[in-house]
Structure 1
Amino acid sequence: MADQRHSSSTNSSCSGEDEKIITSSSPSSSTPRSKHGVFLSFHGKDTRMSFTDHLYIDLKRKGILVFRDNERLKRGKCISQELWQAIQESQYAIVIFSANYASSKWCLMELAEIVEWKKKMNLTIIPIFYHVDPSDVRNQRGTFAEAFTAHEKDPEVDIKEIDTWRDACREVGKIAGEHVHEDRYESTIIQKISGIIFYNYTRLNILIHDYQKLVGINSSVEEMMKKLHMESNDVRFLGIHGMGGVGKTTLAEIIYYRVSCQFEGSIFISCIREESRTRGLASLQKQLLSMIMQEELHIWDHHQGIMVIRTRLQNKKVLIVLDDVDSEKQLMALAANWKWFGPGSRVIITCRDSHLLITHGVNDVYKVELLQTTDALRLFSLSAFKQTHPLENYNELSMDFVNYAQGLPLALKVLGSFLLGRTIDAWKSARDQLEATPNKELMNILQISFDGLEESQQKLFLDVACFSQGRWPLDDNLTEIYPNIDIEVLVDKSLVSKSKYAGLIMHDLLKRMGWEIVRRECREEPGRRSRLFRAEDVCDVLKNDAGTDAIEGIDLDFFDHEAKHSFNINAKAFSKMRKLRFLQFGHLGFTKWCGNPLKYMPSDMLRVLHWLECPSKSWPSSFQPKNLTILSMPSSRFKRLWKGLMVLDNLKYLYLSGSWNLIETPDLSGAPKLEIIDFSYCTSLCKVHPSIKLLKGLQKLKMSGTRIKKLWKGLAVLNNLKYLNLRNSKNLIEIPDLTGTPNLEEIYIKGCISLCELHPSIKVLKRLKRLSLNHCECLTRLVNFPDIQGDMTSLKSFYFSKPPNLLSSFMSFPGLRDLELRDCKNISIFPSVICSLSSLEILRLYGWPRLEKFPDLSSLECLTRLEAYGTAITQVPSVNLIPRSIRSFKLEGRKRMPHKSRDFPIFINDCSLPKQSSYPTNHDIGSPIEYEMEEMLEVEALQINFGSVGKYTSDIIFADTVMINGWSLGSRIPEWVQNTSNGSSVKIELDGIMKGMDCAIFIVCDYHQFHSPEDQLYFGHIHGLRGFSNAGNRIIWINRASLRFQLQQK
């Protein structure tokens, strides 16, 4: 949703007795219907020259449009067209019940019309009981009873109409309004009523006007309405949270104006964070009480305010919105708990910190998300062009700014407003300038959250902003470097979010704010900043030996950098950086180092060291990084690491993969906390130090592609080890005793060509889930597998070559889901035991040259993926041999397939449905249609599977029935297809096609003939296509094989 106004200047709302008056009021998404703000209904002789006139004048003085009938209006049996229209065009109807009101048929007709229009259009009714008891109006007693008795005796009045009048009196009489009697000053009541009208009338009209500019808000409003549970009489606290500028205040305002009429009192207090600092909590308490109670109250300190709020509001149904809260102290002073307020009350709190909401005990929370690209473009356009789409020639530039804002409503509005009415050249200049100098207004608002952090949390924020650039290894291991509580605080304040695969994610604008904070430390001299992350700054400091003890972290990678850097660096450049905590070097181009950089690198505070292709050939004895948590030096030049014992008490991750010169692993006994070790493809590595058996916390061990013969001797008690990868270790002759690793879940021994047999201890691995034994040429038998039947029920994935005894092996794997069998050269009949694996989901058969008959797999009801390569199958399988659950099917035979195969299903884009009436269809899209092919193309290799569109040409072979994403195509073009073409190209008109927006294009092809194998559907032009259609997904029906796409914007 969009926050068109990032903060509200309004600090109050109608309250207490006032809000009893408001019966219904909700902003419309269309232009306001009202020509009049208020319609006055009254009995002329009772109040025209007194109360009504005074109220009329006061409303007019406040600039409110008021309709008041005059005595010259023609009176008849029916309400006049002028009055009827005036009621319909008003937002408020003030009904002044006086002693003789019901005696006037005219007044009662007005009242009935007002009630009827309230039901249709949510007209707000404010009743005023002018020297009459409200119960007399509701129950038609006193003068109202006398009046209705007279009407019933009048032969010209229809009894049904009288009943309508009675119902109208009862309904409006139930509304809590103002009671004018001898103990109250009329002037005070008039001021109160006009104040209510002025506030709500002006605010609502502003809201309705702005509502047209709010984008992507409807779903958020509806979700919040559900969370409010307005039907419940319980007191409920709700929280709205999200990053700064995302639209929390706007959402709260919409909700407030939609439901405030249902409460006895309501107030919207904005900018509490700021106001509590400048005015104090006592002032906010006074504001809350005064507006709800509609009386001037004096609060001397916030302790007194707490007592007064608890006492005065505990029996009143109130709606309180506390906007932009940032401390528990504020909440404790204004709305500590549910006991403070009467039944049915609602308290809505907006803040950037979700944890604050949780600790305060809110009933529910709602997180405001960033806008999707389409809504973001629309919001930006509303600010930049005053319309919902960009002007011609501004499309690409608009998308540049939309991509910059990354869905943040505040940024979209600020940037759009700044660019309004400017030339294309000015737009380009502003775009280029943003890269160097962020928008000051945006940065100031975003920095509010940063300023509220503790010092350690600010340090974490800046580290993530400057160093977490989507590159390994820091992104994966931040939780190990920083206290978890600091990470949780940043998550709670919506400054970062957690990703399962990418560590911590930060919005680009927040990153830019972090960069700017660091740059402000010293704009002229990068060497005096705490963090260096721009290539130009890092190179300047290192080449010129301009480092200082201010530097805490350096990040440099030329991989994505356009320039090919080549320069010399003196290794002593690190010597002055005594506070260095973080160093991440990726691809450094042709950089040459003079000396061993590790020799001069300060090590006392170093926590993270990642250096791709580190030039050091030896580990200097002076380099003792005792606080190191991550040591990552892939593709290094080391032959050996440190000699002897190295105390690394905090080291958890050791990565040296691809270090081709490394011949042995170091003594790791000084690193007892190691969790992950990676020596993958250290192709010279032949010796493993026995200290590896002492690493009690070790979880992953990767030794693939090494020259080791044995991993360790004897028993190693590694209870935490879950992952062991020895893949392609061609010299490995034995698997170690695994008795001490009972929690192993994954073992990869693929390509260990010297391995002859497995150690018997494999039978104790009852938690083993994945076992890969492919291409182990000497492994001719699976020792003890037949003897451990029932013990390997956890095994889910099994990959093996040349299995000697399929029957006995698979009896031990009842829970198997993924099975790969290679090089079964002597098997001509498919083993029926595989068909008994009821949980099997994936089956891959590679190299079965004697298998001629496709097996009956229909009993495998869970099978979704089937691949069979290198078989002797000559007949395309029948539909009844394939389970209905199949979603991906690849088949390759050694001989040519027949020209005609009438009932073979084609599987495209992970979806398959052969032509069979019992198969389900995609009802979300529509009804399926059948398509009959004339013939099947003759091919040697039949591959029938397509995933997401790639950048290479894909061959699609069609047969009897073609299914694309659940559609079975018919013999004619259906009416629902929007774009059709009989030529070799199709022109697609896309609303607001922009760079950076993903476009989903569905292609439905009508092929009646294949003239040659060259007639192929070409997807190359679709790859990387950027665009979007506001009209929804377009389906294109083509009757030629070669396609070109020409995109034209409306």
Structure 2
Amino acid sequence: MNQESSLLPSPDIIRWSYDVFLSFRGEDVRKTFVDHLYLALEQKCINTFKDDEKLEKGKFISPELVSSIEESRIALIIFSKNYANSTWCLDELTKIMECKNVKGQIVVPVFYDVDPSTVRKQKSIFGEAFSKHEARFQEDKVQKWRAALEEAANISGWDLPNTANGHEARVMEKIAEDIMARLGSQRHASNARNLVGMESHMHKVYKMLGIGSGGVHFLGILGMSGVGKTTLARVIYDNIRSQFQGACFLHEVRDRSAKQGLERLQEILLSEILVVKKLRINDSFEGANMQKQRLQYKKVLLVLDDVDHIDQLNALAGEREWFGDGSRIIITTKDKHLLVKYETEKIYRMKTLNNYESLQLFKQHAFKKNRPTKEFEDLSAQVIKHTDGLPLALKVLGSFLYGRGLDEWISEVERLKQIPENEILKKLEQSFTGLHNTEQKIFLDIACFFSGKKKDSVTRILESFHFCPVIGIKVLMEKCLITILQGRITIHQLIQDMGWHIVRREATDDPRMCSRMWKREDICPVLERNLGTDKNEGMSLHLTNEEEVNFGGKAFMQMTRLRFLKFRNAYVCQGPEFLPDELRWLDWHGYPSKSLPNSFKGDQLVGLKLKKSRIIQLWKTSKDLGKLKYMNLSHSQKLIRTPDFSVTPNLERLVLEECTSLVEINFSIENLGKLVLLNLKNCRNLKTLPKRIRLEKLEILVLTGCSKLRTFPEIEEKMNCLAELYLGATSLSELPASVENLSGVGVINLSYCKHLESLPSSIFRLKCLKTLDVSGCSKLKNLPDDLGLLVGLEELHCTHTAIQTIPSSMSLLKNLKHLSLSGCNALSSQVSSSSHGQKSMGVNFQNLSGLCSLIMLDLSDCNISDGGILNNLGFLSSLEILILNGNNFSNIPAASISRFTRLKRLKLHGCGRLESLPELPPSIKGIFANECTSLMSIDQLTKYPMLSDATFRNCRQLVKNKQHTSMVDSLLKQMLEALYMNVRFCLYVPGMEIPEWFTYKSWGTQSMSVALPTNWFTPTFRGFTVCVILDKKMLFILGRFNTHKVYGLENMIWLNLKRYDGLRQKISTSFGPIGSEKPGGLGDTLITHIAFERSWKLENDLDYYRNNAFQLEFSACDHYQKDVVKGLGVRLVYEN
């Protein structure tokens, strides 16, 4: 009995919905400390529950809140002065302490503005609160509250006034790091318990990764298909991702790069790490440059799963200098040579499970929580022998045998014995035979057509075949045949191979008889010779590059049962004369004909996707398309008219983007009561829409770029479902007042509507509106007076408009976070005389005084001079980013800007009259002041401990300042001393002098080589600080510098540690896109630091560095011109 019990899997641990539950007194800290602490936790990928203000209005905590407490790993309690006044908070606390004692929940108290002893003993303000409670509530309830407070206050926590000198930002960071560390240990333990055979793998990989140390390190996980490489990488990723500034798990690189292209994978990688949407990359070279630019200073965790070609690594991981200090890149592959070729530092080879581990894993899937009898144990041992410890085979076969009787087990084991052990495909196939007929069809369709596709899209297609995919996909997941990862259906290569094998076997390896065709070598001969048969049900020809495919008009004549047809990058000269009437889904990229064949009924068609087609008129004769739900004719630039939509009453999605010949939309569209998406983006010849819109189910309407569209239809009835309305770059001069009927709209984009003169006053009724963009509306002079009644507004973009005043009601926008008024130089509500006798133009900031949530304010190019608004900035206490580029002031009052206690970024590019920098708050991290040609001094920058970015390119007066060189030295010293705090530092100043303290210097060359002293490497060595002198004239020629986009060139610093036996250790970093907007001056000096831990591998034996003679090779060059670099300097930096 004991022996049997020891073989059972560990019991299931508690399933947590949240990492952290925040308990706090809302009126004390919600919009201050708690909001920023919540953001700090979320930025570290810590799933945090913070209750809504609406929840606190009741007398008792809700069942939902109780569940949230119970389902949180950690409770973070913020004790503030009025915490004990709230019975809600006290009930929360009582529940938390119960979960601590019963479920082992971790409790972390934070004493915000109250002493721990006050909480523990209920003294002072807590005592006053309890005096009131004792008069209102029964004694036992009050005692429970007291006991909970005492127990919580006795737990070691965070006493904010006595931590980090009371600096809230630093305390928040420390709390977030503490929570992250606690979660890491818990996640590691839970994953190790529940993944059979993984614990030893995890410990070894953690050690090899060296988490916590610096440097950029690559680790390869090597092994055969199905051995668990992806599972191990995923567990490691989930456990440590919160310790990085950005993370991405890019699964199935081999398959997805072939189908989607490396550019798409680069888009996904950058989107996930940078948390941005709508990223577009045109080619892999552009993607590589973008990765280098955007990730070089980020601490990144990247997993590249199932890599099989060096091009994939070059495009997705490149070199170490692409990533910031502490980054880790994990590569899983079946190809050891690939890792060797890529010079991967460390390789971890995964082995199959031993007999004991195989039995554990098999039992998890074959018996779930049940204990097997002796007969089943004997049979299990026989199964283990045949699987040879391959985890994937154990999972699949275990799931197949689950719930079956002894006779079935015996039969299955006998069948396994007849299959050679190396034929893994046939082993895996046993799971397929247990599926129902419909589930088998779903599986084969996924294996042949839909691996890696979005689950929702695949579900829609499978529904068109009447396959009941909702339950079918769930069954396949339960059988371990597929998984859902980030909303996409994934299928392991072995399982997919098994599906392909089944399809080919059914056809006796004759492509003509295959139910599904997905390979070029099978499809093209069948089409070219008209060899199709009624066995063909689906065909997907997806070519990597556009390629000509020749076949005649009757190629599909014999495929009478074809239900799915998809072509990508197949250039076909002649269109089909016949399409099977059984087609449910037609997806033909570049469809060659002017219309669909007249003989094609289309009555079974559910999805029609003809992107970049040559369609002029979709069909010439009347059709019955009652089943059609999805139509996408985007980029069909010859399409002149839409079809009559009265024959498509069930249409849900209509995409006509970039149909540039389209002039009008058939009036029947207004009757599409089920339409959810209507996309007419960049239909630049579209002049009119139906006079009225009554699309009650519509959620997204896109008319961006319809440049000839002058009027927007009346909205006669409520459209509660519409969430996003895009009208940018149209010719609208106004919106109808009936826009108020869009009661659920969250986004309205009217950017670059050059003729728009006003917004309807009724817009203030849109209580759900979060984003309003009128940027580039050059005729828009006023915002509605009642704009402040848009209580949900979070972003307001008015860049380059003719707005003259800010409505006084704007101060009511309590939720506004981003306000952009760049280029609004007509704002003139304040006029005062400056010391220079000029008028000060600007915004009446009293109208913005209530913007308590504002994070970003952009006042670039607003013709702001001295005085006026510059004296009235300080009330925006939540501001983190202030952009004042291109204005006319000579100074910024210190008394105003120093009150921005959370300010992190100040941008002053192109402020040509600015003579000095203001006194800034200690929170400042970046100052960007290129082209400030009158700037005399930046001496005070040494005061700011968090400063890590400073750029002063083309600030000519700085060079003339005699103290300039000493200031640069002082600032560099400060930055180097603070390296332990900053991720990196970069200083960009005018001048052509290499500071004296650079040990090695070279002029007139782009490279230098020096012999390092024998004792150069010590435990205190921190890296190399390098200096590059850049020629100003060449910079002007090659473009201007911009912190977000590459307008000029990308420069690289290359360091090679060359051992005298010839072995080189390459170190490199990018110093970003550079350029110059204006000619003049001699040059600029760039100084940056390459940390030892950041860019090179650390040998296991530090004597490697101590006992070998090294030569340092240093070069700085750009991709296009080498004449930019005029001088180089380098110095070895040590801790002391």
TM-score, structure 2 normalization: 0.45
Q: TM-score by structure 1 length?
A: 0.49
Tell me which structure has the larger Cα radius of gyration: 1
